Structure 1
Amino acid sequence: MTTSLLSLRFLTALGLTLTSLTCLASRDPHVVVALSAVYTAAEYAAADTTAVGAHILIALGPLVNVAGLFTGVTVFRPLVNLFYIINHALGALWLLAYTMQPRMDYRVLWYIFLLTSLPVLVFELAAIAVQWRLTRLKLAL
């Protein structure tokens, strides 16, 4: 069961990353929808920068997850793996729905980030930090 969870964890992380990059390439209609009917180039540039930042942060969660997967910190934790799988799958599905609706505001990306990538990012970085600290304590003793 652990190997199938690990495979699924890797595949869903990869799926969320690829979906985020696909959304990044098609962000223009979402940025335009968020702006008023008459907008300046500066307003568009600010909104576009915000959208790019959200996409990068969404893709960062699964990438840190894969780094944690390869370092072995949370590999043999079935509930953690299941948590990651559910978060990545939901994130990929929400991003897919977002991409298919060109009239959807780009600010929805921040909610997707907060609900799917941020918990994974915080949990994985905390697990890596705890493991690193424990390793340092063992070396000091």
Structure 2
Amino acid sequence: MMTNNDEIGKIMQQVFSSDKMYFRIGELSEMAGVSSRQLRYWEKQGYIESVQREGKQQARVFHFSQYGRVTGIKYYLDAGYTLQAAVGKIDESSNISTYVHKFVHNAIRAIEISEKGVNVDLGWFDEPKQIRLIAVLEDEKFVYQLKQE
């Protein structure tokens, strides 16, 4: 079953559009495994930032990029770092989760599901646009292939 390239591209762009990914403090807390109280403290200290929503629900929300930041801070805290050191480590990495998110948002062009596994078309591999990079998922492992057009 092959999914049309244009269709899957539109779906992936919508699904991975971080402009639409906002979470309330309780959602962020649950997703990241950090208490709401910790999040409020981190926000007060300037380690994370919320966005004020307009309209009927003027509660603050956190953008997807803050989810990545919170997850990273928690990782380093769990590894034994102090809060300031954990924030420093995250600052050094320049919020890598945002770049990964952008990659996924832009990379997936088509998905083919077969009896052998799943093929994910990751787009053109070369500038003349003659070879595509395909990620093949078989037995829970990805193998990459080049496909001549």
TM-score normalized by the length of structure 1? 0.38
Larger radius of gyration: 2
Larger relative helix fraction: 1
Asked which structure has the greater RCO (Cα within 8 Å, sep 6+), the reply is 1
Larger relative strand fraction: 2
